[in-house]
Amino acid sequence: MSLKVLACGPLCLLQDGGRHGWQGLGVSPGGPVDKHAAAWANRLLGNAPDAALLEIALGGAELEAQVDTWLALSGAELPLSLDGEPLPAWSRFRVRAGQRLKLGFARAGQRAYLAVAGGFRAEPVLGSVSTQTRERLGGLAGDGQPLAVGDVLACVADDARFMRGASVPWPYQPDYREAPILRVLPGPDAFSDEQSRALFDQPWRISPQSDRMGVRLRGEALGAPCRQWSLGVVEGAIQVPPDGQPIILLADRQTMGGYPLLGVLHPLDIGRLAQCPAHSEVRFTEASVEQAQADLRAFLRFFAT
């Protein structure tokens, strides 16, 4: 029971809820960089929130079903068709054995998420199947390799789970064409008011050197206080290196960092940043820890049901 990879585009990775409990040994959690889109793909199918799915960068993937089951797609705006018939975005749909699903290249956003009823099956490494290419962990063979043409993704036959397709209501579908305003929580280092305001008072461009480890920004250089020690870093941490061009850490980040930390991106805005293409513009605004905690609790309650 499986889906066969016929084309996989620039980068196609198997991801689940992440590899937790190993950061003390230098192993980052990984997992989807856009947790909002990934959570919707699994929710459409009634899967557990951390069920394994595919993160497809920029599109260009094609798969052949070898089982009757249900799939769901969320994330980047791209053409989607089943045996040549177009399908709506952010939706679940039935596939029959022998049918071919084709994803075109993204018109907005960077990453699409494809889930299957029951989740894709692979042997976990350190408790997770999430693919970490840098650390060579997870994925189909456990060695951190991206998917390749000819790979076979194991899943279960689950044709009777639903009576009909469904879509995410449009108010919950992000508009990846809009330049986002991202919320920032205060960081641990003592930036002056002037240094902090410089982040919020200008637009920033996404550098082409960005990846799953972090998003590099380009703008008028920031000043930063000196720091003589390293500390643990979290997803969304905003580092300011000596050149003054901020780096916002994502799922495949290192676990320790020595650059000063200006702040931390709101947990629910990290995925929106990860969908921004190179050279696009973002802005930032200040937010409170209390509001971010309330937002995150509501998010976790919704997707846990």
CATH code (residue 219): 2.40.100.10
- Rounded mean pLDDT, 225-243: 90
The reply to whether 198 and 164 lie within a common domain is no
Q: Residues 161, 117: contact at Cβ < 8 Å?
A: yes
Q: Which residue has the higher pLDDT, 229 or 301?
A: 301
- Measure the CA–CA gap between 229 and 221, rounded to whole angstroms: 22
Q: How many domains does the chain have?
A: 2
Give the three-state DSSP class for 41. Answer: helix
Q: Identify the weakest region by mean pLDDT among 6-15, 135-144, 222-231.
A: 222-231
Angle between helix 289-304 and helix 35-44 axes, rounded to 10 deg: 20
Instruction: State the pLDDT at residue 226.
Output: 83
* Residue 1 pLDDT grade (very low, low, confident, very high; cuts 50, 70, 90): low
Q: Which of 149, 172, 195 is the last residue of a domain?
A: 172
The reply to whether 192 and 260 lie within a common domain is yes
- Rounded mean pLDDT, 6-26: 94
Q: Identify the weakest region by mean pLDDT among 137-146, 226-235, 241-250.
A: 226-235
- Rounded mean pLDDT, 92-120: 97
The reply to whether 300 and 160 lie within a common domain is no
Look at the alpha carbons of 212, 52, 56, 136 in this order and tell me if their dihedral is positive or negative. positive
Q: Residues 255, 27: contact at Cβ < 8 Å?
A: yes
The reply to whether 68 and 185 lie within a common domain is no
Instruction: State the pLDDT at residue 6.
Output: 97
Give the three-state DSSP class for 265. Answer: strand
Question: How many other CB atoms sit within 10 Å of the CB of residue 39?
Answer: 25
Give the global pTM. Answer: 0.95
The reply to whether 127 and 271 lie within a common domain is no
Instruction: State the pLDDT at residue 160.
Output: 79
The reply to whether 131 and 15 lie within a common domain is yes
Q: Which of 132, 154, 172 is the last residue of a domain?
A: 172
Give the range of the structural domain holding residue 53, as residue numbers without chain letter.
2-172
The reply to whether 159 and 192 lie within a common domain is no
The reply to whether 201 and 218 lie within a common domain is yes
Q: Residues 37, 43: contact at Cβ < 8 Å?
A: no
Cα 224 off chain centre by: 29
* Residue 86 pLDDT grade (very low, low, confident, very high; cuts 50, 70, 90): very high
The reply to whether 83 and 142 lie within a common domain is yes
The reply to whether 160 and 190 lie within a common domain is no
The reply to whether 7 and 90 lie within a common domain is yes
* Residue 190 pLDDT grade (very low, low, confident, very high; cuts 50, 70, 90): confident
- Rounded mean pLDDT, 181-203: 92
Q: Which of 126, 142, 172 is the last residue of a domain?
A: 172
Q: Residues 66, 41: contact at Cβ < 8 Å?
A: no
The reply to whether 279 and 192 lie within a common domain is yes
Residue given tokens 């000596």 in the structure block: 242
Q: Identify the weakest region by mean pLDDT among 87-91, 157-161, 270-274.
A: 157-161
